[in-house]
Chains A and B, each alone.
Chain A
């Protein structure tokens, strides 16, 4: 028994050197010159330095939802040492500050770790949307350069970018709003080089789909996009005939997308408008305005700078303003101040005769002028369905100062009347003379 134990010990003894000699045989060189945690910290410090270095902040191409169901949304973020100030095309003019941090859980991470109604809009859950809109508020930092930081959403895995902003964030957001307001096309046709193609645009999901023929074969390619200052930028470049298109400029006056693919070919896509769409310039002219009490001759004069028309002829003392709705190709006549005398204000108000006779001084309440596709040169009055007061008529009212329920004085009188009446019931159309 003892002998057996001894022999076992001997064997173990004989084997030990084999194991031990191995251990220090090679002096393993460190691949990196610093421990991983230090390198991570240096990376985060460096990123924070770059993030805070941009005086105007950053443009954030934000893509919620892992299936990209809504396309991209433009945010701006300005970082100081503690807080991020966030703006978004969701609410132009609104900026909200909240805390952020640089941390390392799934690699280096930028985390917006206190609530911000804009930054967390797409990630906020509710009873009806337990996933929210599947948005991210924590981002893995993939690549950092001075002007471009590549991020990946921790939830969605979507790739997103921070681009150094060189102008005022509010101005940038406003410019984006104008572009996205002008994006009204649902389809277009055009060419890439000599290749003809057709294009479908889904504005709700911010997705563009291009179809072209290769021999007898139809090929469909597409991608999500985000509005940019000049047009649209794709989530990932669209490949056509081996070359890729990553962004397109948009001209709102000619309804044309244009750009170049990676091979240098020109890309041009011209939009097809809805049948009742009226380009801005076409509204100019002299018309007969028809309503329940008869008709009045009016002239529509363009005020292109302010994106609106002035309607002359209703009263010699004032013009009525009609704002152009570019996304629809309509004019929108809403409640507005037409005059002032001795502290009193006179307003043309949207009036819902069929809505129990209520009228509203909200500058959103009123009626559209929409092209009548059946009759050339005719535009119909259509309610713009403002909340509880869908206007079908207009009424002139007098207020003691700015309009409110406390300042209502009563019906307007001369010289503010239209056709000697304070009422303009049931306008139906304007017809070109």
Chain B
């Protein structure tokens, strides 16, 4: 009885599987359409410099699905996006290549950049410089203002590149966790979303933080420490710490030491070498050694 039931069951299932087998798909016709947008010269350059070597997508044209509907945004200017892509390549991608090797860049560097022309303005007059999602995608805003900042390292870092290094640090942290002792240095100093409010936005230095945003959480603190350290040369780093008392200086130094040892033990990167390399490359950009508009594919 039992056996028969199972046999019956099996045969019914077989029928069921076979039932619609005549509904063949048309193998000669794909339903995936290629679109009718023509490739630009920049597309070819990106393919040769971002896609093929690193599998990085640099989206310079507006796509509504990549943008944030909470803000009124506009597309990036074509020519300015070209310059920015060159800068990302020269100041970020190739800096890490030089310091840590191409494999490191391929493995960890963010896989997508999306550019928009203006900042993401809020209705209180403030605006967002850039964001990162899931350690994979980085939004670069304000591309159309690039020419205003391109000659000034501080501005360029403030508006575009600190964000990239900051978000990149998060990605590294997702691979190798932040050491526990880092969390303990200023463990009860983190204030979450109050970081931008008074008094925290004024007194962060005396509380042992390198920036206002570093007070958000130890993860942000870590990313701020690293990104601010490498985008500033020694003089401006010292300048930043001016006015801090010895106690808070010690806290910042203690955290910096942990960041340095984290980078060297986990990824074999000497943070000072990274900083010097980045500073050297920045100077090469400002001295005009790098052609930011050249689209020839070598």
Residues of A within 8 A of B62 (CB): 111, 113-114, 137-138
Contact A37 B31 (CB under 8 A): yes
Residues of B within 8 A of A98 (CB): 77-78
Residues of A within 8 A of B208 (CB): none
Check if A101 is an interface residue, CB within 8 A of chain B. yes
Contact A13 B8 (CB under 8 A): yes
Nearest Cβ distance between residue A369 and chain B, in whole angstroms? Answer: 43
Distance in angstroms between the alpha carbons of A218 and B59 in the assembled complex: 56
CB contact list, A131-159 vs B, under 8 A: 131-132, 134, 137-138, 154-155
The interface stretch among B88-96, B114-122, B213-221, B276-284 is: B114-122
A-B contact pairs, 30 of them (CB 8 A): A6-B1, A6-B2, A6-B5, A10-B5, A24-B19, A24-B20, A35-B29, A35-B31, A37-B31, A38-B29, A45-B36, A99-B40, A102-B37, A105-B65, A106-B64, A114-B60, A114-B75, A114-B76, A115-B75, A115-B117, A120-B75, A126-B118, A126-B121, A127-B121, A127-B125, A128-B125, A130-B72, A130-B125, A131-B72, A155-B72
Check if A81 is an interface residue, CB within 8 A of chain B. yes
The interface stretch among A15-23, A261-269, A424-432 is: A15-23
Nearest Cβ distance between residue A228 and chain B, in whole angstroms? Answer: 28
- Nearest first, the 7 closest Cβ-Cβ pairs linking A and B are A130-B121, A41-B33, A115-B77, A113-B62, A113-B61, A35-B31, A101-B37
Residues of B within 8 A of A126 (CB): 118, 121
Residues of B within 8 A of A155 (CB): 72
Which of A40, A101, A125 interacts with B72 by CB under 8 Å? Answer: A125
Distance in angstroms between the alpha carbons of A335 and B66 in the assembled complex: 53
Nearest Cβ distance between residue A86 and chain B, in whole angstroms? Answer: 13
Contact with A along B165-177 (1 / 0, CB 8 A): 0000000000000
Contact with A along B92-123 (1 / 0, CB 8 A): 00000000000000000000000001110111
Tell me the nearest residue of chain B to A9, going by C-beta.
Answer: B5
Which of B38, B61, B65 interacts with A81 by CB under 8 Å? Answer: B38
The interface stretch among B9-17, B131-139, B265-273, B285-293 is: B9-17
Tell me the nearest residue of chain B to A2, going by C-beta.
Answer: B2
CB contact list, B32-85 vs A, under 8 A: 32-33, 35-38, 40, 60-65, 71-78, 80-81
CB contact list, A70-91 vs B, under 8 A: 81-82
Nearest Cβ distance between residue A51 and chain B, in whole angstroms? Answer: 11
Contact A82 B40 (CB under 8 A): yes
Check if A44 is an interface residue, CB within 8 A of chain B. yes
Residues of B within 8 A of A82 (CB): 38, 40
Contact B32 A37 (CB under 8 A): yes
Check if B211 is an interface residue, CB within 8 A of chain A. no
Residues of A within 8 A of B237 (CB): none
Residues of B within 8 A of A101 (CB): 35, 37, 61
Residues of A within 8 A of B61 (CB): 99, 101, 113-114
Nearest Cβ distance between residue B42 and chain A, in whole angstroms? Answer: 9
Check if B149 is an interface residue, CB within 8 A of chain A. no
Q: Knowing A48-B36, A105-B65 are in contact, say whether A20-B75 is a contact too (CB < 8 A).
A: no
Distance in angstroms between the alpha carbons of A313 and B85 in the assembled complex: 65
Which of A44, A45, A105, A112 interacts with B64 by CB under 8 Å? Answer: A105
- Band of interface residues on B: 35 or more
Nearest Cβ distance between residue A133 and chain B, in whole angstroms? Answer: 10
Q: Knowing A38-B29, A127-B121 are in contact, say whether A113-B35 is a contact too (CB < 8 A).
A: no
Residues of A within 8 A of B15 (CB): 20
Check if A278 is an interface residue, CB within 8 A of chain B. no
Contact B36 A44 (CB under 8 A): yes
Distance in angstroms between the alpha carbons of A137 and B119 in the assembled complex: 17
Tell me the nearest residue of chain A to B62, going by C-beta.
Answer: A113
CB contact list, A159-195 vs B, under 8 A: none
Nearest Cβ distance between residue A68 and chain B, in whole angstroms? Answer: 17
Nearest Cβ distance between residue B14 and chain A, in whole angstroms? Answer: 11
Check if A258 is an interface residue, CB within 8 A of chain B. no
Which of A9, A103, A125, A154 interacts with B74 by CB under 8 Å? Answer: A125
Residues of B within 8 A of A40 (CB): 33
Tell me the nearest residue of chain B to A48, going by C-beta.
Answer: B36
Nearest Cβ distance between residue A107 and chain B, in whole angstroms? Answer: 12
Residues of B within 8 A of A36 (CB): 31
Distance in angstroms between the alpha carbons of A332 and B158 in the assembled complex: 49
Check if A319 is an interface residue, CB within 8 A of chain B. no
Contact B118 A125 (CB under 8 A): yes
Contact B125 A41 (CB under 8 A): no
Contact B33 A125 (CB under 8 A): no
Nearest Cβ distance between residue B128 and chain A, in whole angstroms? Answer: 11
Distance in angstroms between the alpha carbons of A115 and B146 in the assembled complex: 13
Tell me the nearest residue of chain B to A121, going by C-beta.
Answer: B74
Nearest Cβ distance between residue B72 and chain A, in whole angstroms? Answer: 5
Contact B5 A127 (CB under 8 A): no
Contact B121 A138 (CB under 8 A): no
Which of B29, B38, B72, B81 interacts with A123 by CB under 8 Å? Answer: B72
Contact A120 B1 (CB under 8 A): no
